Copies of this chain bind each other. A is one copy, B any other.
Amino acid sequence: MSKNAKISNVVIKRLPRYKRYLEELQKQGVDKVSSNELSRMIGYTASQIRQDLNNFGGFGQQGYGYNVNALHEEINQILGLNREYRMAIAGAGNLGQAIANYTLYYKNGFIVDTIFEVNPKLIGLKINDIEVLDFDQMVDTVHDHNIDLGIICTTKESAQEVADRFCRGGVHGIWNFAPVDLKVPDHVALENVHLSDSLHSLVYYVSRQEAAADDEK
């Protein structure tokens, strides 16, 4: 682990993107790829790519390039994708169902075990074969089912309470979609998808572009 331990967060954040492009190449049946070719696909400079990939071993050979399968496998391993993760979703609304579907569709190693809900109309049902349980059963179920990841698709008002229960149940990571900044213990990883922040950034650039277009008239 010591080799990987020093990879910076900035590089780690770029790995999923490399992974996506390598999967494209695998689909096309491409065996090897140069940093220049990767650069044209991904948009990073070739020297940036060489520097990033040098971080975790010497795959590239001068004049040969990278072995696509080996590089993909190594990135999977670094990202921790060479195993299964059991997940539970809190909130069976549209977003919770979308995420359940998304991960199902997505497969490789992500298993949605349970969905927790407060709405009595949904409790006891199955959504895409996933059991919907009462929010009150959360801590015990998360513990008993060995859930690794908790996914929060509730309102922002409930999100911290849900996070607390996930943590008490023993999850190792939380994927939060509620528009709120959560507090979790240090040993629990937290990744936020703040959709409203993303929409607001988009709108800023749109209003800028429109103002610039108006100025030109």
Complex interface: chain B residues within 8 A of A200 (CB):
15-16, 19, 79, 81
Within 191-208 of A, Cβ neighbours of B (below 8 Å) are at 191, 193-208
Count identical subunits in the complex.
2
Cβ contact of A202, chosen from B149, B211, B215, cutoff 8 A: B149
Asked if B16 and A201 sit within 8 Å, CB to CB, the answer is: yes
Cβ contact of A207, chosen from B80, B102, B194, B204, cutoff 8 A: B80
Cβ contact of A172, chosen from B79, B98, B194, B206, cutoff 8 A: B206
- Of A32-40, A53-61, A134-142, A173-181, the one with at least 4 CB within 8 A of chain B: A173-181
Complex interface: chain B residues within 8 A of A81 (CB):
200, 203
Let me know if A20 is at the binding interface, CB within 8 A.
yes
Q: List 20 A-B contacts (CB under 8 A).
A: A13-B197, A15-B200, A16-B194, A20-B179, A20-B196, A42-B181, A83-B207, A85-B206, A94-B94, A94-B98, A95-B98, A102-B195, A173-B202, A174-B202, A175-B199, A187-B209, A187-B213, A188-B209, A189-B206, A191-B202
